[in-house]
Structure 1
């Protein structure tokens, strides 16, 4: 038993010594690298505020590569999105050439070197990921090439076009630009080999990443000729062209949520409003309740869908859809009010033919205008016995003579030609419909007209949002 305890103790001692030796080696190597860096910097009298010199005096070139870990939290309300990325800068600083192998360090080493002053143009907020210094990595090659890498978590502005929301796609940029050096001093360029890489397992909640690409450009910050006091802004060190690198993310919105939670329910509500056409025109409580309840439900549904969007000056696709559905639901209410008012009329409707044109015309035309003849009280009556004769010199039409109001069955004269015309019209026949028949006829036509019109406007709408 004692032998086993002794063996275990010896094993632990040996293991601790081994780990101590490894830690010592790591610490010694770290000290050597630090001392090597200090020696290099001291030998060349390194000035971290001075830009790396070039052989021909041209601008320093900084090559950039970006790896995208994550894209998400795209906030349309604030016009911004979140990104987690790894950025790596590469440039040549001939003052740091050495023969001691690759020197690596973290934030402490970076603070001793010259680094390019770059910033995110469309940045809303950004922080270096992690809390330790290990989130920054710097390595110096033997030829003086410096690799500076760091991880960023940031919120970037994205000016979104929401005209086709929720069938929209957005192109959100990530812009890097030189801050302290114009193009005569520093030029930004993308790495020729894979300048942008995206995590293959990247999953977004509301969007899908369709594509990403890079481009480079220059921004002109030359000031207009203007002097403020004794300072000429044209000669400012900040005027001139500045090198810019941009990554574009093409994002396409996933529409499944909106189809199932907004469009399908709204279509059902419009269809439900048409049930009113199958109810009796005199069923006031049922048809009124059906129309108002569908209208209020649809308005509530539409308010929820647009609550997460910013207030914009143009009309979005969802608002066109809202207007379309509102017109059809409100139209069913108006149709009910119309047929109910007809249903409650007492007088029959006379029509020439039983088709839409004549039925609607006769229904909408006031009763007095539809009466051509047969209403003696509307005409002026002779007050004394007189003889109405034709004027032979003028060649007017023949008239009937009236000698006495009490003896003549007709109280006034009808020209012969008009009398013949009236008889001819009556011989053709006039159809009569009761108000109830007219109301039911309008309901039957509405059962066909409303669905066909809704299908037509749907075709126009979906062509608009998809193309």
Structure 2
């Protein structure tokens, strides 16, 4: 077609002339400007709207304008025809008709669930031809795309939801998808999302390796039992075919947009985390109630637990069932542990409150109170063993000899049949509860029936024994079970809040990193 012929034609006539089947084959891809090079198709996307991102079904909806641009030399207008700018622009049904007459790249959304070209009476498709052979195609589409989400930090998670464009018919050696050099992706400036906020969009251009051919299921005709040789030959041929087809793979050009989305946490903080913190703190009110207030403390603990479980069920109902632990589940487990711990603390102090025997203590501190409370028999056994020496001496009936006045710090025993410790001469002696800890001198055998033993006893020098101080007497005290129960409640008022504050510091530090 000459320039004079093109100048005398209308736009419709020119389009029909250019796309006539006698000179244009729509099934053959255009030749590249450089020989043996793939044709380059430039893409651009405008995002009108991003719908709700459904975590339950791992999908999101978008309204987009998808634009492609490539050059087809067969549609170029001869120079000097007097046509400037665009040769023609066809929209709606006419755009579909024109698209059916020319070659267009077969590009699909590889992560789409469903898609549709928008438009009520006429589909929103536009085809534009330029005199130099450039072709522009624009489609307004509604697409539902899959988005594989990582919900480990829910609701403080950030998602990367992709929109992937990939060539279907031609591999990367025949067709190359490229983003436009300037602003390949634009987003509606008034775009607002309900649960997420759009942080940014990133574009990438990659290649995807896919099998070019897939082997079909082997089928054999019905053979007789004695045809085993034929069966083996057919199987060998199929194995060779599979080995040959295994290497038939090709790279397909791919364009990808990643929408970086961050979840808005205001709703979850106000409707889940703050109420759960208040419920945990409410369970601590039982520490200020009387340990014997069974109805009040039991009702408070169980009602707090049931309310918290109901609150959690409403929060996680819209999430998919995943195999890993989410941040909300960690929060739920720990808060449940604190509420249940307050119930266990009440059961513990109420059990102590109802005891009858006093609790013996070596010292009045947390270590010995808890040890004596948890193992009361062991505490009493230790008390009895420390006083065992004095108790044994108490069971003696008589003391046969008086202390020697001239040697007040020593006494001689000539008979071991019966010993009774009383107040010796010089005012130094042991009472029935004292513990005998001084060393006994080596026995001097006088005869078969007499044994002489020298036992040092306290003198008058303020409890001094030959320059050495006596070991201190073990001091023991006791607490009533009611005093122990109130002591545990007082400590719980401090321990539980401190532990919960430490957990919050670790938890919020983790989710915000």
When Rg is computed on C-alpha atoms for both structures, the one with the higher figure is 2
Name the CA distance, whole Å, in 1 between partners of 2:144 and 2:103. 27
Contact 1:399 1:415 survives alignment (8 Å)? no
Contact kept, 8 Å, 2:349 with 2:488, in 1: the verdict is yes
Q: Deviations over 1:87-132 (max 9, x none)?
A: 0000000001124552111111111111101111111111111233
CA contact (8 A) 1:223 1:233 kept: no
Alignment of 1:230-249 (within 5 A): 239-249=249-259
1:87 is matched with which residue: 66, 73, 84? 66
Question: 1:207: which partner in 2?
Answer: 196
Is the counterpart of residue 445 in structure 1 residue 487 in structure 2? no
Q: 1:36 aligns with which of 11, 14, 22?
A: 14
Counterpart among 93, 99, 104 of residue 89 in structure 2? 104
- Confirm whether residue 270 of structure 1 aligns to residue 316 of structure 2: no
1:272–1:401 CA distance, 2 compared to 1 (3 A): farther
User: What is the aligned partner in structure 2 of residue 131 from structure 1?
Assistant: 120
- Matched residues in 2 for 1:126 and 1:307: separation? 28
Alignment of 1:22-421 (within 5 A): 32-42=10-20, 45-55=23-33, 56-98=35-77, 99=81, 100=83, 101-105=86-90, 106-222=95-211, 228=238, 239-367=249-377, 368-372=380-384, 403=417, 417=438
Structure 2 counterpart SS, 1:277: helix
Q: 1:43 to 1:108 in 2, by over 3 A?
A: closer
1:34 shift after superposition: 3.0
Q: 1:401 to 1:245 in 2, by over 3 A?
A: farther
Report the TM-score, using the length of structure 1 for normalisation. Answer: 0.82
Q: Is the 8 A contact 1:362 1:370 kept in 2?
A: no
Residue 57 of structure 1 and its aligned partner are, at CA, apart by: 3.1
Distance 1:235 1:323 in 2: 53
For the 8 Å contact 1:33–1:104, the answer to whether it is kept is no
Q: Give the 3-state SS of the residue equivalent to 2:367 in structure 1.
A: helix
Q: Is the 8 A contact 1:208 1:253 kept in 2?
A: yes
Q: Retained in 2: the 8 A contact 1:399–1:416?
A: no
TM-score by length of 2: 0.75
- Whether the 8 Å CA contact 1:281–1:339 is kept in 2: the answer is yes
Q: Deviations over 1:51-95 (max 9, x none)?
A: 011241311100000000011210101111111100000000000
Distance 2:313 2:15 in 1: 63
Is the contact between residue 171 and residue 248 of structure 1 (CA under 8 Å) also seen in structure 2?
yes
Report deviation, 1:311: 1.1
Distance across 2 between alignment mates of 1:121 and 1:233: 28
What is the CA distance between 1:434 and its match in structure 2? 0.6
Q: In the alignment, is the contact (CA less than 8 A) between 1:182 and 1:238 conserved in 2?
A: no
Q: How much has 1:160 moved relative to structure 2?
A: 0.6
- Taking a change above 3 Å as real, the CA distance of residues 401 and 37 of structure 1, as seen in their structure-2 partners, is farther
Moved more, 146-155 or 219-228: 219-228
Secondary structure of the residue that 2:19 maps to in structure 1? helix
- Offset at residue 364 of structure 1 (A): 1.5
For residues 321 and 195 of structure 1, do their structure 2 counterparts lie closer, same or farther at Cα, with a shift above 3 Å needed? Answer: same
Question: Which string of whole-angstrom CA distances, capped at 9 and with x for unpartnered residues, describes residues 154-173 of structure 1?
Answer: 11111111110000000111
1:340 match: secondary structure: helix
Residue 501 of structure 2 aligns to a residue whose secondary structure is helix
Note if contact 1:210-1:250 (Cα within 8 Å) is conserved in structure 2: yes
- Given the superposition, is the C-alpha separation of residues 178 and 253 from structure 1 closer, same or farther in structure 2, using an over 3 Å criterion? same
Q: C-alpha displacement at 1:429, in angstroms?
A: 2.7
How far apart are residue 355 of structure 1 and its match? 1.1
Q: Does 1:459 align with 2:469?
A: no
Deviates more, 1:95-104 or 1:75-84: 95-104
Partner of 2:479: 433
Q: Is the 8 A contact 1:225 1:234 kept in 2?
A: no
Q: Do the aligned partners of residues 234 and 102 (structure 1) sit closer, same or farther apart at CA in structure 2, a change above 3 Å counting? A: farther
> 222-231 or 182-191, which moves further after superposition?
222-231
Point out where structure 1 has 5 or more consecutive residues left out of the alignment: 1-30, 383-397
Structure 1 234/60 Cα, relative in aligned 2: closer, same or farther at 3 Å? farther
